[in-house]
Amino acid sequence: MDSLSMRDHVRPTDGDYPGGIYRVVGTGDDTVTLLRVGDADGRRVNTGEVVTVDEDDLATFEPADNPDENRPLGPTVASGLEMIYWRFRAFGQQLAAHPIPATVAGALVAVGYVGDSVGPLSESVASVVLFVGAIGLAFVGSGSLDR
């Protein structure tokens, strides 16, 4: 087999390694480190199983398809919706963990949103205040204050 690059996918052709699909996660002078990411049927798995293969043993592997690219539409959509839920939950938890910056940023959003219609702010100033508030909420909600 030609040399492998990071993120290439291979599968073993003999019984020395557990069946499945492996992703290249590291390369050394004479070795390749592989993470098992698919079962023998090509379905995505999260095993955490890592193997290091000598270059001489790479001949016992063949190229394979990425198991993430052959997922059925239903599970892909369900997984995406579940991730949206968890992202919003983490965002809310970050806002709750930092109430003062979150309140200031939320107030800026509110003032910017209604400032030109009920307050003394011009439309351009209200737009800037709204933008700064939205960026502030994103900054606080992303967890950047914890770094």
Phi, psi for residue 27 in degrees, rounded to 5 = -135, 140
CATH architecture of 9-69: Roll (2.30)
**Domain ranges within the chain, ordered by starting residue:** 9-69, 73-146
pLDDT tens-digit map of 110-138? 999 988 777 778 888 999 999 999 999 99
Indicate whether this model's pTM tops 0.75.
Answer: no
pLDDT tens-digit map of 30-77? 889 999 998 888 888 888 899 898 888 888 899 888 887 766 778 778
